[in-house]
């Protein structure tokens, strides 16, 4: 098992390398640069800045420098937020994004999972249809519609929540963003859980468990649910990676100082280092969570063996 873990981490390195390389050259090939967007910089200052950041070096040399710095954990300075290094930006924003994302993930898994189980146990009855309808709505309505509607209802009409802002992490400030993040995931988890639970309940070994007179609790929880968890686990991995690295929509609408906003801004401003930093962080999260998924698989299913 340990050997497997090490091998997986080692194979992650080439993946990461490929991602870094592709992204680096993609963003560099794109027209424009960090200092020639409507910023009114005089040509001299612009040339100065470009020389200072080594942007006039041949591309392969810049690439080489970037890789070297990256190996030392140095993401470089941000070009458009000149007072900060990319590392500092992440140190400030990432905890906020992780807090919101993790809360949303837990909420989605718990509530969505429960709803899915309820639906599966009442297949083709009222409760099932109610869950399906809710789930369809949840996964269909885009976040950029849910978020302003939450603002409209809870903040503007009922005045229960603040319209936005982080408020140093006050609970009330988190409710809107977390709900917005969680609702679509909840819907997807509920659907997945319903489907895999129905399939699990139909399997032959469940028939055996019933024929042996086991209690409903044992049949549903011990035997059916454990088998039904596998699809949820494989969904939750990438979903967690996406949630924890922030959401541009939620952070923009609720004015949250997370890292989700950086990506789009940085790409549009050609803030090369910040873009690359975001790509690397997302890739690392994705790799880690995929690994966790595989390990959880082995825990839940004894047929899965890594050696």
Partner 1 sequence: MAETVLEVRNLRVTFRTLDGTVEAVKGIDLVVKAGETVAIVGESGSGKSQTMMAAMRLLASNGEATGAVEYRGRNLLELPKSELNKVRGAKISMIFQEPMTSLDPLYTIGNQLIEPIMRHRRLGAKDAKAEALRLLKLVHIPDPERRMGSYPHEMSGGQRQRVMIAMALANDPDVLIADEPTTALDVTIQAQILVLLAELQKKLGTAIVFITHDLGIVRRLADRVYVMRRGEVVESGPTEQIFTTPQHDYTRMLLSAEPTGRKAPPAPNAPIMLDGRNVEVTFRIGGGFLAGPPMLLRAVDRINVILKERQTIGIVGESGSGKSTLGRALLRLLPSEGRIRFEGRDISTATKDQMRPLRHEMQLVFQDPFGSLSPRMTVGQIITEGLRVHEPNLTRKERDQRAKEALREVGLDPVMRNRYPHEFSGGQRQRIAIARAMILKPKVVVLDEPTSALDRSVQKQIVELLRKLQADNDLSYLFISHDLAVVRAMADYIIVMKQGKIVEEGPTDEIFDDPREAYTQTLMAAALDATRFRAEV
Partner 2 sequence: MTELADAQAAPDPEALGRSLWGDAWLRLKANKAAMFSLFYLVAMTLVCVFGPFFSPHAYTTIYPDYVRTPPSLSPYPQQEMIQGALADVTRRMRVDMKEMKQEDGRVVFTVTSTKPFDDRNLRYIDRSDTFDDARVESKSPDGLETVISAATMQKYFLFGTDNVGRDLFTRTLVAGRISLSIGLLAGLVAVTIGVVYGATAGFAGGKTDEVMMRIVDVLYSLPFIFFVIMLVVFFGRNFVLMFLAVGAVLWLDMARIVRGQALSIRRQEYVQAAEAMGVSQAGILMRHVIPNLLGPVVIYMTLLVPQVILLESFLSFLGLGVQEPMTSWGVLISAGAANIGSANWMLLYPAFFLVSTLFALNFIGDGLRDALDPKDR
Cβ atoms of residues 104 and 258 within 8 Å: no
Site string for partner 1, 99-138 (x = CB under 8 A): ------------------------xx--------------
Instruction: Select from 29-37, 48-56, 74-82, 207-215 the region that touches partner 2 (CB under 8 A).
Output: 29-37
Judged by DSSP in three states, 162 sits in coil
How many residues lie near partner 2 (CB under 8 A)? 39
137 binds partner 2 (CB under 8 A): yes
> How deeply is 18 buried, as exposed, middle or buried, from its count of CB atoms within 10 A (0-12, 13-18, 19+)?
exposed
Question: Does residue 98 bind partner 2 (CB under 8 A)?
Answer: no
Q: Does 72 bind partner 1 (CB under 8 A)?
A: no
CB of 215 vs partner 2, minimal distance in Å:
28
Site for partner 2 in 227-266 (CB under 8 A): 248-249, 252-253, 263-264
- 3-22 residues in contact with partner 1 (CB under 8 A) are 11
Task: Work out whether 160 is an interface residue with partner 2 (CB under 8 A).
Answer: no
Task: Tell whether residue 159 is a contact of partner 1 (CB under 8 A).
Answer: no
Please state, as a whole number, how many other Cβ atoms lie within 10 Å of the Cβ of residue 218.
13
* 3-class DSSP state of 195: helix
Which segment (44-52, 170-178, 207-215, 237-245) binds partner 1 by CB under 8 A? 207-215
63 burial (CB, 10 Å; 0-12 / 13-18 / 19+) is middle
* Residue whose C-alpha is closest to residue 239's, from 94, 102, 95, 90: 102
Angle at 32 (CA atoms; ends 26, 36), nearest 5 degrees = 145
Q: Which residues is 85 bridged to in the sheet?
A: 77
Query: How many other C-beta atoms are found inside a 10 Å radius of the C-beta of residue 159?
Result: 9
From 25-33, 37-45, 201-209, 266-274, span contacting partner 1 (CB under 8 A)? 201-209
H-state helical runs in 30-82: 43-52, 59-71
205 sits near partner 1 (criterion: CB under 8 A)? yes
Q: How buried is residue 105: exposed, middle or buried, by Cβ count under 10 Å (0-12/13-18/19+)? A: buried
Query: Considering the rule CB under 8 A, would residue 115 count as an interface residue with partner 2?
Result: no
DSSP element (H, E) containing 306: none
Dihedral, CA of residue 186, residue 204, residue 292 and residue 246, to nearest 10:
-10
Residue 131 backbone zone (phi > 0: left; psi -120 to 50: alpha; other: beta) = alpha
Q: Which of 5, 9, 13, 30 binds partner 2 (CB under 8 A)?
A: 30
Nearer CB in complex with partner 2: 187/232: 187
Is there binding between residue 172 and partner 2 (CB under 8 A)? no
From residue 4 to residue 23, the character string flagging contacts with partner 2 as x (rule: CB under 8 A) and all else as - is -----------x--xx--xx
CA 242 to chain centre: 1
Q: Which of residues 221-240 bind partner 1 (CB under 8 A)?
A: 222-223, 226-227
Q: Using CA atoms, how far apart are residues 180 and 142, in angstroms rounded to an integer?
A: 9
CB of 157 to partner 1, least distance (A): 43
Task: Note the residues at the interface with partner 1 (CB under 8 A).
Answer: 11, 123-124, 202-205, 207-216, 218, 222-223, 226-227, 300-303
Task: Note the residues at the interface with partner 2 (CB under 8 A).
Answer: 15, 18-19, 22-23, 26-27, 30-32, 136-137, 139-142, 144-145, 147-149, 151-152, 156, 248-249, 252-253, 263-264, 267-268, 275, 278-279, 282-283, 286-287
């Amino acid at each position: 098992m340990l050997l497997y873990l090490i091998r997986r981490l080692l194979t992650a390195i080439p993946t990461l390398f490929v991602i870094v390389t592709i992204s680096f050259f993609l963003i560099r090939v794109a027209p424009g640069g960090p200092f020639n967007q409507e910023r009114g910089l005089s040509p001299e200052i612009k040339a100065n800045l470009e020389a200072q950041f080594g942007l006039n070096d041949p591309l392969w040399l810049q690439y080489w420098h970037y890789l070297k710095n990256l190996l030392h954990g140095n993401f470089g300075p941000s070009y458009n937020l000149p007072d900060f290094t990319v590392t500092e930006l992440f140190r400030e924003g990432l905890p906020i994004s992780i807090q919101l994302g993790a809360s949303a993930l837990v909420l989605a898994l718990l509530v969505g999972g429960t709803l899915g189980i309820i639906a599966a146990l009442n297949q083709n009855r009222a409760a099932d249809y109610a869950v399906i309808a809710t789930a369809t709505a949840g996964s269909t309505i885009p976040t950029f519609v849910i978020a302003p509607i939450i603002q409209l209802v809870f903040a503007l009409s009922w005045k229960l929540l603040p319209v936005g802002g982080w408020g140093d992490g006050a609970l009330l400030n988190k409710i809107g963003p977390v709900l917005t993040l969680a609702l679509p995931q909840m819907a997807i988890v509920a659907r997945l859980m319903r489907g895999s639970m129905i399939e699990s309940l139909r399997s032959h070994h469940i028939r055996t468990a019933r024929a042996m007179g086991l209690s409903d609790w044992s049949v549903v929880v011990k035997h059916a649910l454990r088998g039904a968890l596998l699809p949820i686990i494989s969904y939750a991995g990438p979903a967690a990676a996406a949630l924890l690295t922030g959401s541009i929509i939620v952070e923009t609408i609720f004015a949250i100082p997370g890292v989700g906003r950086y990506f789009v801004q940085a790409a549009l401003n050609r803030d090369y280092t910040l873009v690359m930093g975001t790509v690397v962080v997302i890739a690392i999260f994705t790799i880690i969570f995929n690994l966790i998924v595989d390990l959880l698989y082995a825990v839940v299913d004894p047929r899965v063996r890594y050696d």
